[in-house]
Amino acid sequence: MECPVAATRRSALSAAAAILLFSLGCSTDKPSFTEAADANPLSTQNALDVSVSLAPEVRGAESVIAHVTVLNRSGSTVDVPESQLPSEDLETQQFVVLRDGERVSYEGPHIKRGPSTGDAIISIAPGATYSYDIELSRAYDLSRDGRYSVVFESRDSRAQTVMRSARQEVRLYGRAALATSGIANRTLSALTSQISYSRCTTTQQTDIRAALAQAETYAINSRSYMAANNLGARYTWWFGAVTTANASRVLANFTAIADAFATKPITVDCGCKKRYFAYVYPAQPYTIYVCSSFWSAPLAGTDSRGGTLIHEMSHFNVVASTDDWAYGQTAARQLVVDGKISQAIDNADSHEYFAENTPARQ
């Protein structure tokens, strides 16, 4: 939906990778940004180490580059989902960045990913080192002077931290305004309810119109269910026990999603060839980039085209500003089982699966 949904949905890992994903004494709750920046590096004794290095200072509008190294210092090959390794394309929020102790906003893509496949697993041989040069200024707001701290931190599909580096610092001077993502902001039509297309064939445009109609139906149905204030298993399965505050937020989210599909100028870009479903830039409404898995998905039902558009629309800051805490029905449900209700209510896939309601719950 995350938006370009931060780990693969399902990953069949080797035993060595299982060692990697085990974290002694680590909470599965997302730490505060200050806690994360001060936390110790996370790696198991015989698996992968991740480190970050930065220039001590950067002046003017020069790019801020993080050099990230992943080392397998075990005696066995470690298989890792590609989405948990550093991404030079900044395809997800993998860094905790603070400026003078305050959180720096992430302005990169939020992606809905498809099921894990064999080519999504990276095998790292014993002693092998993988290195990445990542331009942080493409996706994080580094437009102000100050002292910045940077930590690499990747999560699995259940929002559990699986790799974390030590904190590194850089001082920025004379910064210019940040241009995020490398994609120019689009000027959308002022006409409401208008659909625009970019790099889409005639057949794709027909499929997109059907998917948008299905997404609007999902959003209206979800809003009506929430407004009736007779919340049952359909709500509690995805969002936990009913409280006035939580139910009000979910209702507000679906009200905003339904309004966006009904009245906002939406642009759909078909140029993405990656194996995701879709992605968005939350600060750039209402442009949705659909990718290869979108076209093979059913119109309705679990992980459908209509549901994908619900997921992506929920990410926009001016709509519901959701995040990607968990991917897939099993992981989204587990947020509730584990008592992570605030994450469930903020999770894009949870909104999608509530809207798709497959299997149906009352």
In our burial notation (b when 16+ CB lie closer than 10 A, e otherwise), range 265-303 reads: bbbbbbebebbbbbbbbbebbbbbbbbebbeebeebeeb
Catalytic residue, from 2, 91, 107, 312: name it: 312
Is residue 312 annotated as a catalytic residue, yes or no?
yes
Per residue of the chain (362 residues), give pLDDT as tens.
Answer: 544 433 333 233 333 333 333 333 333 333 343 344 445 565 544 588 999 999 999 998 888 999 999 999 898 999 988 888 998 878 788 999 999 999 998 888 888 875 444 447 889 999 999 999 999 988 888 988 999 999 999 887 777 888 999 999 999 988 864 444 333 333 333 333 489 999 999 999 999 999 999 999 999 999 999 999 899 999 999 999 999 999 999 999 999 999 999 999 999 999 998 888 999 999 999 999 999 999 999 999 999 999 999 999 999 999 999 999 999 999 999 999 999 999 999 999 999 999 999 999 99
- Enter the tokens of residue 94: 């993998």
Q: What residues have CB less than 8 Å from 356, skipping those under 6 apart? A: 218, 300, 301, 302, 303, 304, 306, 307, 310
Report the predicted TM-score, pTM, of the whole model to 2 decimal places. Answer: 0.70
